[in-house]
Structure 1
């Protein structure tokens, strides 16, 4: 074999070896990528299954007084779902207040002419996300979830979070609520939503906020706090309600004097 042929054969062998080595390197790099994609798909399926199981509990049809909470580990939050206990009989509503340790909310001494009792509601306790009870429950649910991204459970409760009275006249509604307030983890300042208008009032020396032009069902609200009893009162009506600001203030005054 001539030196030239030996050189050609040697060069070809080197190229073949390099080609084989290169091919091996590409295959080795592709394997982890394929495994990573498979693992990602598997994790996604697990999370979807956890969500489905949690939502089956959280979205289940509820009986009056039922309360569930959903822990969402993807954004570290809680959501509550409940069905209030409702009565169209005022005497029965009064008994429910005591039975469920609800905030005391009696029929106001004064109402605009023609408005009559329609219903009373006892609302299970649920919490504002910046309140201490919310943050405490968030930690508890995260621990119970044991790494799951979604987890839900039915809650037992012995103290209602809110009492509601509804009065009606023709198609108009007056909704009055007394809701428990809880300590907050940070100071919160109420701000008007898009299009809303806030007006600060003083009613019998108590500061109140009169809100109008909201996009909510009850677009007009008069809200004040009973600091001594840790309660927040709200009187609400529809946007097209014929009632004036003075009417709502008069209702509030009759409640404050009770």
Structure 2
């Protein structure tokens, strides 16, 4: 793995990790760009779950992006620095920085929102895989804040006394602390979460949506897949945290992304 950094549109330092396949790559297939979810990391979403290894084994080069406020990317506490639309603009900066004419893009949870925004306005996305999201993308314009607690999530990530927390806020705070995430950055992102219209009807890339059957953040995924012009839906057993590690997840991603047409 090689780790490098680029300067994004607003001067933010965005880190990305590259894994090159040892197998001969099909020259007709572009690199796969992976975008992790909120409070997660490239490592937890994509390395530990075997997705990077499966893609490399299939001859694909892989690029994992650390979202701003996560991993090795620049941290902050100002909500205006964050938001999925800014993170999508980081994708465009990455594509430009690396001179990529085409990419396959994979995003999970918050990363799915970022990736949907990117694919809705950048034709360089050849194929798209998103997971951990559902009807809320169409109904709310982002992750399902009805399940995460909305404004309460930012407060849960900011409090100095997490012992008083209950419900989704407590779960996210525990997850963030377990992953060593930067709490001020997460609180700022929670305050800036995307809630505007996402023009999923403008997505030209064939799309695979993967949703867990017990995922409160991906309810009624058929509503989202029906709104994307060329999308298919794959349901898997599991909840929001477990689906990305399901034995069928990585093979489904590899199969979908290795198709030439």
Structure-1-length-normalised TM-score: 0.26
Structure with bigger strand share is 1
Relative contact order (alpha carbons < 8 A, sep ≥ 6): 1 or 2 greater? Answer: 2
Structure-2-length-normalised TM-score: 0.26
